[in-house]
Structure formats: structure tokens, C-alpha cells
Amino acid sequence: MTKTKKTKTKAPAQAKVPTEIAHPAVAAKPSAAKVAAARPVEAPKPVVAAVPTQPKVRLELSKPGAQSVAVAGSFNSWQPEQVSATGNGSFAKELTIAPGRYEYMFVVDGQWMADPNAKEFAPNPFGGQNSVLVITK
């Protein structure tokens, strides 16, 4: 008879299993001594450029008996804009326009006329004079 040798097969070594299993979020948490105080993140503040204010100019005309007064000039593409009656034959219009040099005229009852209160005049292509308005900053 042949003898068969019985060999013992060893079971593979078992890995050590930790007795405490930590949750991944808890395991990754640094110790309290190393945590810096949390600060709220502030959104960047928008840069606001100063908006230059345009000067206001008041044009006045005294024309007793006038029914309708308008003003037209290079500041409004020569499109007549109604001027308000202020009483006693006086009319006034407040304009907000950028600094520059402008030519203009009043239109009184359909007739174009220069502003008698203007400090400066310029010849126009129709043989008359335009009033000149200079706006500085």
C-alpha cells in the first residue's frame, strides 16, 4: 500500500480589521486645534465710476404778446422744443446739456429770432445770426 501523505493546507492569514470604523467625513475632519475660524466670503464690490453731471442752463426770453415760443439749436438737432410761459410775456426753458459750444435760436409765433440776451453770436447760412451758448464744466 502506498502511503499518501496528508499535508495540511494553511488558511490564508486574515487581515486585521479595525475595531472602530469611522465615517469618511469624520475621519477627514482635522483636529480642532488646526481649524482656523471660518470667515464669510464677501463678494467683490462693483467699481462705480463717477457719473459726470451735466450742467443745467436756463434760457429766458421776454416777448409780450407772443402766443408760442420754442427753442432750437445744435444741442437738439435744430428741432424746435416748446418753451414754457412764466407769466407777464416771459418764457423760459431749462436744458441739461453736456459742456461744449452750441448755436441756437428762438422760434416766436413761427418766426426764427436770435436770443437778445445771448453774449455771443455767429453768422448762419441764411444771412442771419445764431445765438451762441458756451457750457463749461
Q: What does the domain layout of the chain look like in residue ranges?
A: 56-135
CA distance 130 to 78: 11
pLDDT at 115: 98
pLDDT at 118: 97
pLDDT at 80: 98
> CATH topology for 56-135?
Immunoglobulin-like (2.60.40)
How long is the chain?
Answer: 137
Give alpha helix (H) positions in 1-137: 24-27
Contact 34, 73 (CB under 8 A): no
CA distance 74 to 77: 5
* Residue 94 CA to its chain's centroid (Å): 24
pLDDT at 53: 76
Mean per-residue pLDDT for 62-69?
Answer: 96
Above 60 in pLDDT, residue 16? no
